[in-house]
Amino acid sequence: MNNYDVIVIGGSAAGIPAAITARRHYPDKSIMLIRKEGKVPIPCGIPYIFGTVGSTDKNLIPDAVFSNNDIELLIDEVQSIERKAKSVVTAGGERISYDKLVLSTGAEPLQLPIKGIDKENVFYAKKDVSYLDDLLHKLDNVRNVVVIGGGFIGVEFADELNKRGPNVTIIEMLPRCLMLAFDEDLCIEAEEKLKSRGINIVTNNRVEEILGNEIVTGVRLADGKELMADIVFVGVGVIPNIALAEKADLEVNHGGIVVDSNMKTTDDNIFACGDCVDKKSFFTGKQSGLRLASIATTEARIVGANLFEQRRKSQGVTGVFSTAIGDLVLATAGLTNKQAQDNGFNVTYGEAEAPDRHPGGMPGMSKMKVSLIFNKGTGELIGGQVRGGTCAGELINTISACINNRMTADDIAMFQIGTHPAVTASPIAYQLVNAAEMALTKQ
């Protein structure tokens, strides 16, 4: 039987950084990562296989990451964990012992209880290269696509599929697309941008039935309207992969594998991170349904550092998103105004809009708008949203850092910033600082 100090199960957004972080913190330990997939797609890049990138081969996590970090890779599937013996058993007949075990088994796309959902040509955002290749191949002869779900997955898939020429329609149950991530003004901008790019949007409605015999021919909506569809794509969220943990008698719930703030399970020698893990909100401590690659990597870095010595703690999930629809970038961190009020926060907010270059005539300029939400009780920043060009994707990370460090409006207004005409807004009109100043005027 082979023996390793650390075994990581799962090789995507959580498993890889968990193994790499373990290597950095514990350079003398032996580390093996076990994954069942021969090739692993970059999770957030999956929609772009079908438009911008054009193939699955251009969206793969390179295996060189393992050899470069002295991590042994085994392509196999772990079928059981023997906790008393501190070993795992694989489908290939391997029995491998561990000192510390990391579960990063991810999640699977949520399947809706819709009549006809099991028909051929109903697809999901699966992290499976052959499955994605099948979808890519079938898109060559498609005229109509229906996308169920107007969140990030649905919107990004719709925008990329649209580039291939079919008639694309998004069906969303809520009044607006992206409504769980943004306040209404940005949702409206997103929808207008999607429509301008030729995408149809149906909101306040849902798919009641997927039509056709064995193969999809269309969908019937709750209001009785029928739409033609050669392919239906379902993008409505995921459910955690907890089967292995459950079989090992670790504590689980409907949110995933239960862990403490050190990312340790109910077994002192087993840790877990990523989409398979139950999550708590940074703001309320309540259970959170957020499942993001960025969250997975943060949790993985906590796990990798804590395997043999407690060094880091999870503060809960903040939720930081960004998406691009053509040249429009929308980004959000923390709570929206509605979410804050729904959770009982008394809030104040500030907004600022200005060119993201100075002067405004500089090449590549976009109008950037920043909205910040503060807890009136403590003065701390609890949410922020950005609309603009590509700079928005990095500015939202700065806002997230402010949230996680519990900075107040005055702290942010006193931010020492660096600016340059070709890459940032003017120091006079810097949106982050001015949005904080505007919030201070409302306290």
- CA 323 – CA 427 distance, rounded (Å): 26
| Average pLDDT for the chain | 96
**Beta-strand pair 87-90/95-103:** antiparallel
pLDDT value of position 52: 94
pLDDT value of position 186: 96
Which tokens sit at 232? 């239906």
Average pLDDT estimate for 320-324: 95
Q: pLDDT confidence of 141, banded at 50, 70, 90?
A: confident
Q: What is the pLDDT of residues 394-420, one digit of tens each?
A: 999 999 999 999 999 999 999 899 999
- CA 84 – CA 82 distance, rounded (Å): 6
Domains of the chain: 2-107+239-306 (3.50.50.60), 111-236 (3.50.50.60), 320-440 (3.30.390.30)
Which amino acid type is present at position 314? S
pLDDT value of position 442: 83
Average pLDDT estimate for 103-129: 96
**pTM of the full structure:** 0.95
Cα 64–chain centre separation: 24
pLDDT value of position 288: 95
The partner residues of 328 in beta bridges, in order of sequence, read 325
H or E element, residue 270: strand 270-272
What percentage of residues in the chain have a pLDDT greater than 70? 100
Neighbouring residues of 66: CB distance < 8 A, sequence distance ≥ 6? 19, 33, 72, 73
- CA 77 – CA 55 distance, rounded (Å): 26
Q: pLDDT confidence of 276, banded at 50, 70, 90?
A: very high
pLDDT value of position 86: 98
Which tokens sit at 129? 């290269």
Q: What is the pLDDT of residues 61-87, one digit of tens each?
A: 999 999 999 999 999 999 999 999 999
pLDDT value of position 95: 96
What percentage of residues in the chain have a pLDDT greater than 90? 98
Under a CB-based contact definition with an 8 Å cutoff, are residues 382 and 345 in contact? yes
pLDDT value of position 326: 94
Q: What is the pLDDT of residues 169-180, one digit of tens each?
A: 999 999 999 999
pLDDT value of position 106: 97
